[in-house]
Amino acid sequence: MVLAAVSHPVAEERPAAHGDALNLVRAAIAEAAEPEAAAQRVVDLLHERFPNYDWVGIYWVDGDDLVLGPWTGPEATDHTRIPIGTGVCGAAAASGRTEIVPDVKADPRYLACFASTRSEIVVPIFEGAEVVGEIDIDGSDLDAFGSTDALFLEEVAAFLAQLRPRA
């Protein structure tokens, strides 16, 4: 079990695209026949609606590991199981804080997935105070993600918490 407090960047005005996407996320979750299909639809929506979201995946906490769930992007990652505390994804799960990496080549925690990845954002998914998963997004541009992405994806993560797999 991973416990942590949520850390939010300073609130900024939400871009219209984020508000529209949140409405689509709500609808996708409400309309899906089962949680796995809903989570896949959310991943697909994020990838389709935001051109700088090159690879989008959800990892779910399973014991002391993160296990890859639904994803979309140009290719699969070899990192389907990541120990909590390892890499940027594992760091976000351990700390419970959103991680924004403007240049993955400058961050020694980065676990290389794709040669095209230049930046990454990882947003924990909480159930109460417990981290139960995370959204992982790679971008092919340097500094592709900022505080507005973090705030938006933290809202998406709140919706995704209800979709986590149950043992």
Q: Give me the domain span that covers residue 64.
A: 15-163
Domain assignment present for residue 5? The answer is no
What pLDDT score was predicted for residue 13? Answer: 64
Domain assignment present for residue 55? The answer is yes
Residue 111 DSSP SS3: coil
pLDDT tens track for 2-57: 433 344 444 456 678 888 899 999 998 899 889 999 999 999 999 999 999 999 99
Domain assignment present for residue 34? The answer is yes
Which of 80-89 are b and which e, b meaning 16 or more Cβ less than 10 Å from the residue's Cβ? eebebebbbb
Q: In the chain, how long is the greatest CA-to-CA distance?
A: 42
Q: Helices (H) and strands (E) in the chain — how many of each?
A: 4, 7
Question: Of how many residues is the chain composed?
Answer: 167
For residues 130-134, give the mean pLDDT.
97
Q: In which residue are the tokens 């799960």 written?
A: 93
CB 111 within 8 A of CB 79: yes
CATH number at residue 70: 3.30.450.40
pLDDT tens track for 78-126: 999 999 999 999 999 999 999 999 999 998 787 877 778 999 999 999 9
CA distance 102 to 128: 29
Q: Which two tokens stand for residue 155?
A: 């809202």
What pLDDT score was predicted for residue 150? Answer: 96
Domain assignment present for residue 105? The answer is yes
Domain assignment present for residue 3? The answer is no
Domain assignment present for residue 2? The answer is no
What is the total count of domains within the chain? Answer: 1
H/E run at residue 61: strand 55-62
Domain assignment present for residue 53? The answer is yes
- Computed on alpha carbons and rounded to an integer, the radius of gyration of the chain in Å comes to 14
pTM (two decimals): 0.88
In angstroms, the Cα distances linking 14 to 10, 18, 146, 155 are: 12, 6, 12, 11
Domain assignment present for residue 8? The answer is no
H/E run at residue 8: none
